[in-house]
Amino acid sequence: MISWIAAVIVVVMTLNVFSAYPRTSDAFVRANIIGIAPHVAGMIVELNVRDNQRVEAGELLFVVDPRPYEAVVAEISATVALTELEIDAFRQAVHAATAELAKAKAVAVYATDHLARLEPLLERRFVTPDEVQQAQSDAVAAESAAHAAAAAVKRAERLVGDEGGLNVRLAQVQAQLANAELNLSYCHVTAPVAGYVTNLNIVRGEYANQGLQVFSIVDDSVWYVLANYRETLLDRIEPGMVADIWLLACPGRPLRGVVEGVSNAIYQSVGANVDGLADIAPALDWVRLAQRFAVRIILDDAPDCSMRSGSTATVRIRPDG
């Protein structure tokens, strides 16, 4: 009888401990995984890493054949030079058109003044009507020529392409050149973060497709644990709480972590939308299972043993810190 009572007491105390200090063995070590994919397509002509190798941020990983992109840069650079020559020619045309406009205005002023001098002489018969009519025609023609010359100046100015302190002709080809140079720079693929190369399944000479991941880098700057807790325990877990963590790969070396947050959603196949309608599977049992939600815990320091994303862990939350 006494042993039975003692067993009950032990069970009650154990349940209280597990309730006060939520614990789970459904936990896994995680690190951020960065997929490496080239921005441009082409044959890999240089491969500087091997699988599971550690790399530093900015280290050259591989090189996509740059020759096609160098050709594009050279072609557009020539277009830029040609455009600059064309712009200079258009500006010279503006100067010529401006000179023609000045000449046409001078002719128009002379024709108008000449007509003004002849008209009073017609009444006194010092000139003939034909001479006056000819002067009128010359004045009208000169004025029209001046208007045409002014329009030619405006047309020549528009052809130059200057707009608001910017030459749009040159800006267009310069933008094309910048894009071509950017694509050329993408031929040299560097590590975005420090970490370990993983899942490397390419060799030199293989064709790399734009945007298609070729391998990944495990970012080892921050390690965290995703601990899956039953929903009945989540009200006891809050961000900032301290967690004790034991890794299966590092026995006898407890780690310290801090709860960063608790997941607010998980995928639920029951009730998922199918063609806009909820897919509800029929159920005959009345057992209600508690769902598990991920609790993210940031490790304060990585242990001395090797850390691997996906390693098994056991977590205990300490609400009292």
Confidence band (pLDDT; 50, 70, 90) for 35? very high
Q: Averaged over 212-237, what is the pLDDT?
A: 93
Identical topology for domains 22-31+221-321 and 38-66+187-212: no
Alpha helix locations (H) across 124-188? 129-160, 168-185
Q: Which residues contact 45 (CB under 8 A, 6 or more apart)?
A: 63, 64, 65, 204, 205
Please state, in angstroms and rounded to a whole number, the distance separating the CA atoms of residues 216 and 305: 22
The H-or-E segment that residue 4 falls in is helix 2-20
More confident residue, 116 or 315: 315
Domain chopping of the chain, boundaries? 22-31+221-321, 38-66+187-212, 67-183
Question: What is the rounded average pLDDT for all residues in the chain?
Answer: 86
Q: Which pLDDT belongs to residue 4?
A: 55
219 vs 3, which has greater pLDDT? 219
Mean pLDDT of 129-138: 83
Coil, strand, or helix at residue 93?
Answer: helix
pLDDT in tens, 230-278: 998 998 999 999 999 999 888 878 899 999 999 998 887 776 776 767 7
18 — pLDDT class (breaks 50, 70, 90):
very low
In 3D space, the residue among 235, 253, 239, 87 whose CA is nearest the CA of residue 157 turns out to be: 87
- pLDDT tops 50 at residue 12: no
Would you state the pLDDT for residue 107? Answer: 86
Q: Which helix (H) or strand (E) holds 113?
A: helix 67-123
Instruction: Let me know how long the chain is.
Output: 321
Q: pLDDT per residue over 153-173, tens digit each?
A: 899 888 888 888 788 889 999
Percent of the chain with pLDDT over 70: 87
Q: Which of 13-22, 33-42, 185-194, 234-243 has the lowest mean pLDDT?
A: 13-22
The proportion of the chain whose per-residue pLDDT surpasses 90, expressed as a percent, equals 50
This prediction has a pTM of 0.74
Dihedral, CA of residue 284, residue 290, residue 296 and residue 301, to nearest 10: -120
Print burial letters for 206-243: b (CB count within 10 Å at least 16), e (below 16). eebeeeeebbbbbbbeebbbbbbbeeebbeebeeebbb
Band of residue 9 on the pLDDT scale cut at 50, 70, 90: very low
Residue 313 pLDDT? 93
Quick one: pLDDT band at residue 215, thresholds 50, 70, 90? very high
> d(Cα 297, Cα 83) in Å, to the nearest integer?
59
Dist. CA 314–CA 28, nearest whole Å? 8
As a whole number, mean pLDDT of residues 99-116 equals 87
The reported pLDDT for the residue numbered 251 is 83
Residue 5 has pLDDT above 80, yes or no: no
CATH superfamily of 22-31+221-321: Efflux pump adaptor protein, beta barrel domain (2.40.30.170)
At the top level of CATH, the class of 38-66+187-212 is mainly beta
pLDDT at residue 6 above 70?
no
Token pair for residue 205? 């000479």
Residue 45 pLDDT grade (very low, low, confident, very high; cuts 50, 70, 90): very high
CA distance 112 to 54: 87
Residue 83 binned pLDDT confidence (cut-offs 50, 70, 90): very high
Q: What is the mean pLDDT of residues 177-198?
A: 96
